[in-house]
Amino acid sequence: MKKTIAIAGFLLVAASAGYAADPLTTDADKYKLRIENERIRVLEYRDKPGDKTNMRDHPDFVLYALGAFKRKLTFPDGKTVSREFKAGDVIFMKAQTHIGENIGDTDTDVVIVELKQPAK
């Protein structure tokens, strides 16, 4: 019984700490799994102007923009950042939790390579 209460308590603490869910679960209509192994996970992400995602987690990742787009990221603390990308842009991002919103007038079309091994 004590073990069950301890596990339930841990899950409650984890949930209240603001952990978001996997993007393949939170936004299955926008994310597509392309390949996954023990070291990486490659996702394709597409949306339309005005589309907004749910809060989700990403480990460290590399983003490759297949086309130009503009988006706003909202972080759990309410802070927002707007970014513009050109076709062919490649960026590395540290692990983060955010909501994404397409605030431009073009579709978002990117490939995201998530790294499964934490930085040393």
Note the pLDDT tens digit of each residue in 20-64.
689 999 999 999 999 999 999 999 999 999 999 999 999 999 999
Query: Is 0.85 topped by the overall pTM?
Result: no
What's domain 20-115's architecture?
Answer: Sandwich (2.60)
Going from the C-alpha of 70 to that of each of 29, 35, 65, 74, the distances in angstroms are 19, 26, 11, 14
Distance CA 22, CA 55 (A): 9
